[in-house]
Structure formats: C-alpha cells, structure tokens
Amino acid sequence: MGVGEKFEQLVNILKKLRSEEGCPWDREQTEETIINYFLEEVFETIDAVLQGNIEGVKEELGDVLMEVVFLAQIYSEKNKFNILDSLSSIVDKMIRRHPHVFGSEDIKTSQEVVKNWEKIKKEEKKNKDFNKLSISPALFQAYQIGQRASLHGFDWKRAKEAIEKVKEEIKELERGIENKNKKEIEEEIGDLFFSLVNVSRLLGINPEFALRKTNKKFIKRFKYIEEKLKKEGKEFSDVDLDYLDKIWEEAKKK
C-alpha cells in the first residue's frame, strides 16, 4: 500500500470514528479538547527525538499525524475546510518559499536561503507582529507534570487547596523582592507559575488556552489604544498613564 492510500485510510478511519456508527468518545471531542492531545503528542515526539529513540519517533509521528487528521475532520464537519485544503496550503507554501528550487532565483548558501525565507514570510504576514508571539512549552509541561503526579496520588483534592499554595508563593515572592535577591525572585516566580497551573488543571482549564486568550484580549485592547491615539494625532509619550487607563477602560467596554 502506497503513502497516498495509507493516508486516505487514516482519513477514512477518523471519519468512521466520528460518525454515528463510530466511537462515542471520538464523537464528543471538539477542536479545543483535541488540542490538548495534539500538544501532548508533539512534545512526546520532541522527547523521543532528543533521546535518540528511533522507534519512539516513528510511533509519535504517527500519533501527531492522527491528531492533525482528527482536527481537520472536526473542521470538515463544520464545512470550514478539510485535510486536502491543509495539504494544498502547505504544498503551495513550500513551493513559494523555495524559489531557488522550484523557481528561477539563484541562491547558493543556507544563509541566503534563511534570509530569503524570512523575507517571503514577512511579505506574507504583513502587520501581524503581535501574532508572532507564542507561549513557551514550559507552561504545558507544568500542566503535564501536574497530571502525571496526580496519577500517583500526589495532588490536592480541590482547587481551593491549590489556591492556598498560590497565596503562599506570592508571599514568598514578596519576601524575595524585599531581599532584592534576583535568584530567589526568579525561583519564586517559577513556583508561582507552577502553582497557578495546578489551580487551572484542577478546575479543568488548560492554562495554555487561558493565557493565549488573555494575550489575544490584551493585544486587541492595546491596538484600540494605538488607534485611538492615532486618530487624536497623539503619541504614547504625549499622554500620561491615567489617560491610557481611561482608553483601556473604553476598550474593555467595547
């Protein structure tokens, strides 16, 4: 069986699992729930690569591919796009970003390739600087660590208990700031983040998604401030923080 036939078989398996004759668990999944597993499989693949585990890489790449097809199937059911559209998109992008291979541009060195790649990306994504921001995998890693510790019974019973730990870490951070000890401050900030992730996990909220939504919210409101000042012919340096807070509150209401 060729690659195309095997891939089509996987697509059909996911269609079957999501159908009325399929699996109840698979039918219940949404794009957001699948992202949890998607991220987990990606990080497990990274671990296998770093460990030099060839069999592990082979298996995990299959798992990642399955999650990709699963996610595309969900959007296909909503008539948004299908996996073929995703394949077409990446094929077009790879051809477009390699004009020295599929076109007539003369590029010899890898340094020139990287420079030209970034140039093409910039042209494709004009005015999307904020969208380049991403969350460190450490946030999701902390989520996974908490999950795995919980399987061994090393966990709080309720989120309220975890919140008490957050309060404790805040006090320790304040002490570190008072001591002006940078190493202590860094450690306590890490502990605080880890504690917040556990609160999020116990409440059934993926901290990765929560922070991403907050980032988007902040960007949207900050852009509102930028546009407001531009309409008024002002720069940030022309106004004080009270005025910026006032516009921020306007953005929140909108």
DSSP string of 73-118, one letter each residue: HHHHHTTS--HHHHHHHHHHHHHHT-HHHHSS----SHHHHHHHHH
Structural domain including 183 reads 150-205
pTM over 0.75: no
Q: What is the pLDDT along the chain (254 residues), one digit of tens a residue?
A: 899 999 999 999 999 999 999 999 999 999 999 988 998 899 889 889 988 999 999 999 999 999 999 999 999 999 999 999 999 999 999 999 999 999 988 988 988 888 888 788 878 776 454 444 454 578 888 988 998 898 888 999 999 999 999 999 999 999 999 999 999 999 999 999 999 999 999 999 989 888 888 988 999 999 999 999 999 999 999 999 999 999 999 999 98
Q: Whole-angstrom Cα distance, residue 225 to residue 247?
A: 6
DSSP letter, residue 152: T
Please report, as a single letter, which amino acid is at residue 124. Answer: E
In a domain, 98, yes or no: yes
Contacts of 73 (CB under 8 A, 6+ apart): 11, 14, 15, 18, 82, 83
Same domain, residue pair 85 and 178: no
Do the Cβ atoms of 146 and 197 come closer than 8 Å?
yes
Q: Residue 84 is part of a domain; what is its CATH number?
A: 1.10.287.1080
Same domain, residue pair 95 and 179: no
In this prediction, residue 97 carries a pLDDT of 92
Same domain, residue pair 227 and 175: no
Specify the number of domains making up the chain.
Answer: 3
* Residue at token pair 């390699």: 98
Same domain, residue pair 100 and 159: no
Same domain, residue pair 100 and 22: yes
